[in-house]
Structure 1
Amino acid sequence: MRPLLHPASTTPALKDVALLISRVALGVVLLAHGLQKLNEFTLEGTTAAFGQMGVPAAGVAAVVVTVVEIIGGAALVLGLLTPVVALINVITLTGALVIVHAENGIFVQDNGFELVLALAAGLLVVAALGAGRFSVDALIRRPAPATVSG
């Protein structure tokens, strides 16, 4: 019964593959949204939209959110500084949920919170578990080879 309820306990690589797929998927979505704010909507358009939605300091928020999504999304794809960039994005998504989406219900077609909630939940898991073995973080953490002194 244990393998059924916790499959990674019998196949450790499964955890690393799941983290890789999750972090790449989350990173791609964040990167796409950040690039959309920058290139399609423009920072001016994003600022105006944030202002209409009641986001405080809309100009600053537009720049911060755009940069966090682009840099954080790319870092997640690479698995670089994963817990840090995941948590920073959770903070911005929580702000979006509270300030903009919560009052609209769950469904995204009504400007609801389902997307920001799903992204934040996934990012919390990645932040808690780290990037996994298939990441730049794992390369950075790798211990230096032992030297033989003689």
Structure 2
Amino acid sequence: MRVPRVLRISLGALFLVHGLTKLLVFTPAGTVACFQSLGLPAALAYVSMTLELGLAVSLLLGIYARWVALLGVPLLLCTIVTVHGANGFGVSNPGGGREYPALWAVLLIAQALLGDGAFALKPSR
């Protein structure tokens, strides 16, 4: 079945882009400033970058992807509450709404339910 593999690689690529954007474009200092402007602790910026990049690598390579996908759900739920919650539902709302991170959370749950897919380096048990 190809669906779990395609989903896993797609999610991994999305997390890679978001994690690298925080690291290389916004820079760690800029990401910290953004988090602090939202009233969040600076350490959470580093946690977010680390989680996003770790999720990306694990999903792209298929290293315990089913369980790693579940680890990503709380990250997305926190994003909904702390970053996008006040912006309404629609992704096209100013500042982005809850829709996009909610979709990611649902897709991560789907990945956990579907399994790792073919060519996973370390399949989940």
TM norm. shorter chain > 0.5: yes
Q: Which residue of 2 aligns with 1:67?
A: 50
Output one character per residue of 1:111-140: Cα deviation in whole Å (capped at 9) or x when no partner.
2112111111100111222202331134x8
- In the alignment, what sits opposite 2:21? 36
Deviation per residue, 1:51-107 (Å, 9 max, x gap)? 11232x2x1111111011111112101111112321221111110101121221122
Instruction: Supply the distance in 1 between the matched residues of 2:36 and 2:115 (Cα, whole angstroms).
Output: 35
Say if 2:69 and 2:108, in contact at 8 Å, map to a contact too: yes
What's the TM-score once normalised by structure 1's chain length?
A: 0.76
Counterpart residue type for residue 127 of structure 1: A
1:42-61 to 2 correspondence within 5 Å?
Answer: 42-55=27-40, 57=41, 59-61=42-44
- Counterpart of 1:13 in structure 2 is none
Cα RMSD for the two superposed structures: 1.6
Q: Does residue 84 of structure 1 match 2:91?
A: no
Does the residue aligned with 2:51 lie in a helix, a strand or coil?
helix
Which of the two has higher C-alpha Rg?
1
* Distance in structure 1 (CA, Å) of the matches to 2:99 and 2:35: 19
Structure 2: unaligned runs, 5 residues or longer: none
Higher RCO by CA contacts (8 Å cutoff, separation 6 or greater): 2
TM-score in terms of structure 2 length: 0.89
Q: Which stretches in structure 1 are left out of the alignment for 5+ residues?
A: 1-15, 142-150
How many residues align structurally? 123
**1:2-61: CA deviation from partner (whole Å, max 9, x where unpaired):** xxxxxxxxxxxxxx3000111111110011100000000011111111111232x2x111
